[in-house]
């Protein structure tokens, strides 16, 4: 008994360690042993597989990934995994290029994304907001904004 100023505030209970010995079958996590020694094991999901490649390159497609109920697999009267074994998400949702268009000059690339003009010279002037020429400025076509078509020289 723990007392402070004559008032009982708690009871201390002595504890000890009891040596134990396992008798019978060893049981895995999420498992129980039923009468008759049959093991019941609930199923567990594996981690998700990597996303598969998109099924199209443009125009909107889908990617898939999956997992299995085998970590561990259900056993005996154990429960199957809860939830779905597959996921789907959208991919390649940009517009496909128009392969029927014609180029004013040159030929349409095999990817249908730009007109190819071999041995042509671009003439023009690239200036800043004060109309001063810009040196070493990269020029891009609207169809390929990630690839410079030319660089200016003053």
Mean pLDDT of the chain: 78
pLDDT at 50: 97
Q: Is 35 exposed, middle or buried (0-12, 13-18, 19+ CB in 10 A)?
A: exposed
Q: Is the pLDDT at 69 greater than 50, yes or no?
A: yes
Q: How confident is the model over 92-136, as pLDDT tens digits?
A: 999 988 889 888 888 888 888 888 877 766 677 788 889 888 888
b (16+ CB within 10 A) / e for 108-135: beeeeebeeeeeeeeeeeeeeeeeeeee
């Amino acid at each position: 008994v723990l007392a402070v100023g004559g008032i009982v505030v708690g009871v201390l209970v002595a504890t000890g360690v009891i040596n134990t010995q396992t008798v019978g079958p060893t049981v895995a996590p999420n498992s129980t042993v039923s009468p008759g020694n049959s093991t019941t094991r609930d199923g567990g999901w594996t981690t998700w597989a990597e996303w598969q490649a998109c099924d199209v390159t443009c125009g909107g497609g889908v990617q898939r990934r999956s997992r299995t109920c085998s970590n561990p697999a259900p056993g005996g009267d154990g429960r199957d995994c809860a939830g779905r074994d597959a996921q789907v998400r959208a991919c390649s949702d940009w517009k496909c290029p128009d392969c029927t268009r014609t180029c004013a000059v040159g030929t349409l690339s095999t990817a249908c994304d730009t007109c190819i003009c071999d041995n042509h010279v671009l003439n023009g002037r690239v200036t800043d907001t004060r109309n001063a020429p810009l040196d070493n400025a990269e020029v891009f076509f609207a169809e390929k904004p990630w690839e410079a078509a030319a660089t200016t020289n003053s």
